[in-house]
Structure 1
């Protein structure tokens, strides 16, 4: 499951370096609890070639978030749903930010086209009383 709080810009946070006992201690839970979380689909630790679990800093933050939610009274099914919704919200916020950026760029591009259509003031002005001669000049062209 993707962590809604992961930092995609910092690969060090995603590097799986902690063995299960260290991860459990950092998260404040028993190692068996981490195995239960994995079975329930709440966390997916990396695996070594030999099959040992390895947890990253992002995994530790996710485990701490799970602990917070269970401490608040949610069961594991509720925790899973909250994490899914938090992930969806993060995705929608990112998509909204991208859409806002694209809309702003489109508005800026449109405004730049307006500036090219502007006529310098001295070419657009006609002094009072010269209207007829200006119109005659334009019609002759």
Structure 2
């Protein structure tokens, strides 16, 4: 019988695939990976690419390519920070797309969770506590 860890891994993979499909159907102009990059940049205060890679659990090279593409498309600004650091900021257009995508994804997944008799706020709290425990771990 699969373990909880395995079931959670499968759930996340299914959610990632569903999120990509939802974003494509609603034509928000973002893939789920691009959405995640914009989300993390908007949550942080001028993160560097290295900070972003750590937050995403991605390599610096993959993050650099994603950032370059988002900057080229006018969704991210790459500015100079202290020393030789390059700080990332979301643009107004990037913020609009992030909000649209967040609305689509949040509404869909909240409704899905509610349809299973689970309160989305309670589940969010539990997931955040588990993630924090793993980070401390």
Instruction: Say whether the fold is shared (TM-score over 0.5).
Output: no
**Per residue, is there more helix in 1 or in 2?**
2
Q: Tell which structure's C-alpha radius of gyration is larger.
A: 1
The normalised TM-score by structure 1 is 0.27
**Per residue, is there more strand in 1 or in 2?**
2
The normalised TM-score by structure 2 is 0.28
